[in-house]
Structure 1
Amino acid sequence: MRGGVDDGGRKVQELKSALLADITEGEYDEGRLLPSQRKLAEKYQVSRDTVQRVLGVLAREGWIESRQGRGAVVLRTQTVRSRVRGNTAAKRVTLGPLIASAFTAPDVTLDVFTLTSEVLCTHVRVQEERIRAGEIRPETVTIRVLTPSDDEPLPYPRALDGPGDDRPQRHLQGIRRYHTDNLVRRLQDLDRDIDGLTATVEIRRAPLVPYSKLYIFNGAEVVTGPYVPTERPLTLDDGTCLDVVDVIGLDSTLTHCAKDDDPESQASLIVSSWQKWFDSTWRLLAT
């Protein structure tokens, strides 16, 4: 499917996102074996063929390693370093609990600048399930997402052997389109289904090359981290594997800070500065 994600590719993308979320949130920690292919297929309600395809992609991208007679071993996870609440040493946390905490507020706001919305969509799905189960009940959920414009090609992903090959760019755009459409649909369904909840999401395109991902929770907390350029294999929807220059947000160590009682403290100023940047970019540059 030109410039998009076909039905088989959607299943692969969904499972890849779910597995990466579980890996980065510590359910499958570094050095730990993943469940068997049969158990993964049952847990995520997909076919064994989809599981095999996703494990192959994750192995080529360096997330897992298949070991003869043992199964797939997790090689790396993502780290968020936080100095919030008076920690004297940087504390390792994960993104999921930070987003979950943000969703306990009566009025939830998420401002996000990201390359594909893949991780955001995965975490919002978890919070949607909590809302539907009655575990949390915010009154409003407002999400604003800035992503790059499709009008101008980015410097990544770029095929190493053929810089003029547009397939990596079309692949990226298809993934971005899939996840942003998914996010919009989920918020629309929440707004329709849950009495007393107003849920909205707006996606805007900015003429910017993302050098980092940015999350702002309720105007009070910031998580940010650089996209790290690297050479890696990229598996297209049709199964073709290309060697590309790309960036992987999950490769970086994210940092977390929150406003405190002093508006002039370093943490408060960092949050305020990022919020000002996002608001200005949203208003003046994005379409």
Structure 2
Amino acid sequence: MDEGGRKFQELKSALLAEITEGEYDEGTLLPPQRELATQYNVSRDTVQRVLMVLAEEGWIDSRQGRGSVVLRTQTVRSSARENATVRRVTLGPLIAAAFRAPDVSLDAFTLTSEVLYTHVRVQEELIRAREIRPATITVRMLVPDDDQPMPFPYAPGARHDDRPQRHLRGIRKYHTENLVRRLAELERDTPGLTATVEIRRVPFVPYSKLYIFNGAEVVTGPYVPSERPITLDDGTTLDVVDVMGFDSTLTHCAKDSDPDSQDSLIVSSWQRWFDSTWRLLAT
């Protein structure tokens, strides 16, 4: 990926993290394009392309003359007892809480790892600023094998067109490789920190995303099929059928003092599934 492509992905990840963490409430405006270009040291053209893609994905409504309005954030419904009075939370605070532990573990089964990457970046910056100081970070990620036939994305009427599939693989490659790189650099630059990332591939497609935090909390949510435009690296826009994780409300469960409680059993069940899949099916 060239320098322009890297700046595009980094800006998109930064804005996506701010939106999904609830820094911008639904209905509020993102900063003006000129301000974003200055803040992130990118061109106005890069800002415009990122805003166009975020609009295509349904995060914002961006129109000339009125700015970019946030349409939604990534919300999570939690059944954990400590959140009994809270109907909706965002993913960012749950990941942030996981990183307050001395030994952090993240297990994930995901289509592209884009959202996970955006949130880990935020925690990386806090570690570099010495605001949090975990001793170990262990990330295990399951993703579909690149050779695995995917039912999505595809262009209706042109299923032979492999550009949507190549686009998806490119997004996954960028975020998985950069997650590995950033945590390796963080370990190198942070005395006393051990950070490891291992990625394995499975011969099937995730129809829901799965995150397990520190073996004690689970967040899940289905990928919802929808019709939407996508913009390819060469600027071409295609109408495709794709899946979007943000169209579903994520659900959160946490272990409690009762190993037989519903939430504790759900977490244990997903952890067993992940461990077995990691050991027996993934390569």
Q: Please classify the TM superposition score into its range, dividing by the shorter chain length.
A: over 0.9
Aligned to 1:12: 8
Alignment of 1:218 onto 2:214: yes
Q: CA deviation at 1:59?
A: 2.3
Q: Which amino acid aligns with 1:243?
A: D
Corresponding residue to 2:141 among 140, 145, 152: 145
Number of aligned residues: 283
Aligned to 1:122: 118
Aligned to 1:249: 245
Q: Which amino acid aligns with 2:118?
A: T
Aligned to 1:198: 194
Q: CA deviation at 1:101?
A: 0.8
Alpha-carbon separation, structure 2, partners of 1:88 and 1:216: 20
CA contact (8 A) 1:114 1:213 kept: yes
Aligned-pair Cα RMSD in Å: 1.4
Q: CA deviation at 1:103?
A: 0.8
Alpha-carbon separation, structure 1, partners of 2:186 and 2:83: 36
Query: How big is each residue's C-alpha offset from its partner over 1:235-286, in whole Å with a ceiling of 9 and x where there is no partner?
Result: 1010101111100112211011100001000000000000000000000000
Corresponding residue to 1:155 among 151, 157, 169: 151
Corresponding residue to 1:269 among 265, 268, 272: 265
TM-score using structure 1 length: 0.94
Query: How big is each residue's C-alpha offset from its partner over 1:68-103, in whole Å with a ceiling of 9 and x where there is no partner?
Result: 532121222221111223444552111111111111
Structure 1 stretches of 4+ moved >6 Å: none
Alpha-carbon separation, structure 1, partners of 2:82 and 2:116: 27
Aligned to 1:28: 24
Q: Which amino acid aligns with 1:242?
A: L
CA contact (8 A) 2:16 2:118 kept: no
CA contact (8 A) 2:148 2:204 kept: no
Question: Could you say if the C-alpha distance between residues 74 and 205 of structure 1 is closer, same or farther in structure 2, counting changes exceeding 3 Å?
Answer: same
Query: How big is each residue's C-alpha offset from its partner over 1:188-235, in whole Å with a ceiling of 9 and x where there is no partner?
Result: 112222111111000100111111001000000001100001111011
TM-score using structure 2 length: 0.96
SS in 2 for 1:159: coil
Q: Which amino acid aligns with 2:7?
A: K
CA contact (8 A) 1:205 1:286 kept: yes
